């Protein structure tokens, strides 16, 4: 007997779902133990329906979601519309109607996940969303199943393809931020308003979900610090190169003695670090844990078929559980009380790029500021002055957030100094 599913939305990713169901029919049948049939597809209006039918799509397109929610033959609803509304309302109603839900909607999950998970639990139905983090990379289910015996201590992720494409152009070809953005927009990777991608908001959503799966903590979106790539200059990139680093936008989750710290920020990665080679629109999630040690999961973070592969894997899992009679298990059962780190426990090496007039004693003055805060230098680079202005670059040994704050304030107090940029540096 076949299991009937309905798609909400028929954009790029959604159309990949019937493609995979057909192309890999036999393998999917072995795994799911039932055939899977796309019974209905919700589209916006009659115009879209007519356009899709004219293009040769042979599905039962409907324009009213009730035709899906009230259809008792439909067991699984696959939401691929994106954005918060009406997706949230449709998912809520589907769960309440006893239907299992698969979604790739990371914004929704990151902001309203707890609410939706509770509704799913209440109604004994499944809510799966492997595709919500890093598209085609099977990271969520791997954390649930394969790292069940492990304790994760840190997660680092290059999880935004658009900004990683831009950073790759900036690093490998020396492009400016503006040129990289223009190219990303030309290729359709970046939207006309690129805020979500370049300011680290999209990556922060993914870090919220990864915090739940890797650390069992339901961190809120506004507890995730995020700083984007807009301010990175070709000079920063060149200095990073010359000191043996690659700059990337990295999301990190780390467990400190006082609790978790979650942030998204441009980060200097040592060139030998596995994440340093993750280029273009590719994504990767790097996991440090007490059992495995270090592992990395690499793949495309977006795109039709990669995302649809994760969506169909979720659908297969649900069908399988329906056949086994074990449906209703939460996607992620790991749960601990949320505890956030104190600023003094949040430690990292840091990069400072400081502009000073080219005169005697300036480096000494800088050294004194860092010394007062008990912070020592790992690498220092003073560049040849131009127009009587010098640039000093400092990479420090570990400092905590309190020290960082004090140093920034003290540099700001000195009229001579302009703090151009400060970024996190991943130690070897």
Point out the residues that are catalytic. 206
How far apart are the C-alpha atoms of 423 and 286, rounded to whole Å? 20
Residue whose CB is less far from a copy of itself, 334 or 377:
334
How far apart are the C-alpha atoms of 247 and 47, rounded to whole Å? 46
Distances (CA, A) of 301 to 11, 157, 269, 375: 17, 11, 20, 38
Beta 74-79 vs 3-8: how paired, if at all? parallel
Q: Is 316 in the site for a copy of itself (CB under 8 A)?
A: yes
Q: Is 260 in the site for a copy of itself (CB under 8 A)?
A: no
Residue whose CB is less far from a copy of itself, 198 or 282:
282
- Binding site residue list for L-homoserine: 191
Binding piece for a copy of itself, criterion CB under 8 A, among 183-191, 205-213, 246-254, 331-339:
331-339
Determine how many CB atoms are found less than 10 A away from the CB of residue 88.
18
How far apart are the C-alpha atoms of 264 and 158, rounded to whole Å? 10
Asked if 126 and 327 touch (Cβ cutoff 8 Å), the reply is: yes
| 6, 7, 20, 346: which one binds a copy of itself (CB under 8 A) | 20
Residue whose CB is less far from a copy of itself, 32 or 95:
32
Task: Give the residue among 226, 229, 221, 228 at the shortest CA–CA distance from 205.
Answer: 221
How far apart are the C-alpha atoms of 206 and 389, rounded to whole Å? 41
How far apart are the C-alpha atoms of 17 and 27, rounded to whole Å? 15
Q: Is 168 in the site for a copy of itself (CB under 8 A)?
A: no
List Cβ neighbours of 384 (8 Å cut-off, separation of 6 or more): 390
CB of 186 to a copy of itself, least distance (A): 22
Q: Is 28 in the site for a copy of itself (CB under 8 A)?
A: yes
Site map for a copy of itself, 358-397, x if CB under 8 A?
----------------------------------------
Asked if 245 and 270 touch (Cβ cutoff 8 Å), the reply is: yes
CB of 113 to a copy of itself, least distance (A): 18
How far apart are the C-alpha atoms of 157 and 166, rounded to whole Å? 16
CB of 198 to a copy of itself, least distance (A): 24
Q: Is 150 in the site for a copy of itself (CB under 8 A)?
A: yes
Binding piece for a copy of itself, criterion CB under 8 A, among 51-59, 115-123, 203-211, 333-341:
333-341
Q: Is 130 in the site for a copy of itself (CB under 8 A)?
A: yes
**Read out DSSP for 296-341?**
EEEEESS-HHHHHHHHHHHHHHHHHHHHHT-TT--S--------BP
| Residues near a copy of itself (CB under 8 A), total | 58
Site for a copy of itself in 209-248 (CB under 8 A): 216
How far apart are the C-alpha atoms of 229 and 238, rounded to whole Å? 15
| 2, 92, 142, 220: which one binds a copy of itself (CB under 8 A) | 142
Q: Is 420 in the site for a copy of itself (CB under 8 A)?
A: no
Site for a copy of itself in 269-298 (CB under 8 A): 272, 274, 277, 279, 289-298
* 215, two tokens: 């650390």
- Binding site residue list for NADPH: 106
Site for a copy of itself in 69-88 (CB under 8 A): none
Residues that bind a copy of itself (CB under 8 A): 20-21, 23-24, 27-28, 30-32, 130, 136-138, 141-142, 144-151, 216, 272, 274, 277, 279, 289-300, 303, 305-306, 308-313, 315-317, 324-326, 333-335
């Amino acid at each position: 007997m076949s299991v009937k599913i309905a798609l909400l939305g028929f954009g790029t990713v959604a159309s990949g779902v019937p493609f995979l169901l057909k192309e890999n029919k036999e393998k999917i049948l072995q795994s799911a133990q039932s055939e899977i049939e796309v019974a209905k597809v919700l589209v916006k209006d009659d115009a879209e329906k007519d356009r899709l039918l004219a293009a040769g799509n042979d599905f039962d397109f409907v324009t009213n979601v009730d035709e899906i929610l009230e259809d008792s033959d439909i067991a699984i609803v696959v939401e691929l519309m994106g954005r918060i509304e009406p997706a949230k309302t449709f998912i809520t109603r589907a769960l309440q109607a006893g239907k299992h839900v698969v979604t790739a909607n990371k914004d929704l999950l990151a902001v309203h996940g707890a609410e939706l998970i509770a509704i799913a639990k209440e109604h004994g139905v499944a809510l799966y969303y492997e595709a919500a983090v890093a598209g085609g990379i099977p990271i969520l289910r791997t954390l649930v199943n394969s790292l069940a015996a492990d304790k994760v201590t840190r997660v680092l992720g290059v999880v935004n393809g658009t900004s990683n494409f831009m950073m790759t152009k900036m690093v490998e070809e020396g492009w400016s931020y503006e040129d990289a953005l223009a190219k990303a927009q030309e290729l359709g990777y970046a939207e006309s308003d690129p805020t979500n991608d370049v300011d680290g908001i999209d990556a922060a959503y993914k870090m919220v979900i990864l915090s739940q799966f890797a650390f069992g903590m339901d961190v809120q979106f506004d507890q995730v610090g995020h700083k984007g790539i807009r301010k990175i200059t070709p000079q920063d990139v060149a200095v990073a190169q010359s000191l043996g680093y690659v700059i990337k936008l990295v999301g990190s989750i780390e467990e400190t003695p006082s609790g978790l710290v979650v942030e998204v920020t441009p980060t200097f990665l040592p060139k030998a670090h596995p994440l340093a080679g993750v280029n273009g629109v590719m994504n990767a999630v790097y996991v440090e844990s007490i059992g495995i040690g270090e592992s990395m999961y690499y793949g495309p973070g977006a795109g039709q078929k990669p995302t649809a592969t994760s969506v169909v894997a979720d659908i297969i899992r649900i069908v399988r559980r329906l056949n086994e009679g074990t449906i209703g298990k939460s996607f992620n059962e790991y749960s601990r009380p949320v505890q956030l780190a104190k600023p003094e426990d949040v430690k990292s090496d840091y990069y400072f790029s400081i502009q000073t007039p080219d005169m005697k004693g300036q480096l000494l003055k800088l050294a004194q500021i860092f010394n007062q805060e008990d912070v020592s230098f790992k690498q220092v680079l003073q560049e040849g002055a131009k127009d009587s202005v010098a640039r000093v670059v400092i990479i420090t040994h570990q400092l905590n957030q309190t020290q960082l704050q004090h140093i920034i304030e003290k540099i700001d107090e000195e009229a001579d100094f302009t703090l151009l940029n400060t970024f996190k540096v991943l130690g070897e």
